[in-house]
């Protein structure tokens, strides 16, 4: 056997060396996977409530921005409404050309807040809330003509399957006086 052939044989790994190296590689891989999973679950828990709050505030801000210009006494419930919990609401906006009847509609199946100005098409204002309802007046029953209470509920999934449900409620004063 030549000198070169013998040195090649000496450089090969033994079975024991292979078992040890595979064990170390497996331990490093399992540790890395555990750290990645833990950090992903922690990030989900930390940012889940922030995302929920963001969805809620977007919906409330969009409604508040459009509804505050409504004519006092022009808010009506739609056909998809019970006596107090409204998911569909119409109102007259005298600040827009022609004073069109505008519509807010919350679709619980797709979790979208929709808005339509006059006879136009519905546009999506917010996605993600699990419930948006409109109420005449305040929760104490005051100001049914000039006030509308908006209730927005959002949720976020947290670690280990827990659900964080948050509420947002605001009362909007309708600024434009009713016609004589």
**Residue of 152, 154, 156, 155 whose CA lies nearest to 168:** 152
Domain assignment present for residue 87? The answer is yes
Domain assignment present for residue 16? The answer is no
Domain assignment present for residue 24? The answer is no
Q: Per-residue pLDDT for the chain (180 aa), expressed as one digit of tens each?
A: 555 555 555 677 888 989 999 999 999 999 999 999 988 878 777 777 777 778 888 888 888 888 888 888 888 876 554 544 578 888 888 888 888 888 888 888 888 889 998 888 999 988 877 888 887 777 666 667 788 888 888 877 665 565 667 677 888 888 877 665
The pTM for the full model equals 0.67
Q: H/E element holding 57?
A: helix 15-67
Range of the domain at 66: 39-173
Number of structural domains in the chain? 1
Model confidence pLDDT, tens digit, residues 102-152: 888 888 888 888 999 888 899 998 887 788 888 777 766 666 778 888 888
Residue with tokens 């109420």: 135
> For the chain, first and last CA: distance in Å?
114
Domain assignment present for residue 18? The answer is no
Residue 180: what pLDDT?
54
Beta strands in 54-146, from DSSP E residues, in sequence order: 76-77, 88-92, 101-107, 112-117, 123-127, 131-136
Number of residues in the chain: 180
């Amino acid at each position: 056997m030549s000198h070169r052939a013998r040195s090649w044989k000496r450089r090969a790994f033994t079975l024991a060396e292979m078992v040890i190296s595979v064990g170390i590689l497996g331990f490093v891989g399992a540790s890395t996977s555990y750290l990645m999973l833990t950090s992903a679950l922690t990030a989900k828990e930390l940012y889940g409530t922030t995302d929920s709050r963001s969805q809620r505030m977007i919906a409330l801000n969009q409604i508040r921005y459009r509804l505050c210009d409504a004519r006092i006494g022009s808010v009506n419930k739609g056909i998809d409404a019970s006596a107090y919990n409204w998911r569909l609401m119409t109102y007259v906006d005298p600040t827009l050309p022609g004073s069109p009847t505008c519509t807010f509609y919350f679709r619980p199946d797709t979790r979208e807040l929709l808005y339509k100005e006059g006879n136009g098409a519905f546009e999506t204002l917010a996605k993600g809330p699990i419930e948006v309802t409109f109420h005449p007046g305040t929760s104490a029953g005051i100001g049914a003509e000039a006030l509308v209470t908006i209730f927005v509920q959002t949720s976020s999934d947290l670690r280990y399957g827990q659900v964080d449900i948050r509420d947002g409620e605001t009362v909007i004063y309708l600024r434009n006086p009713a016609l004589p």
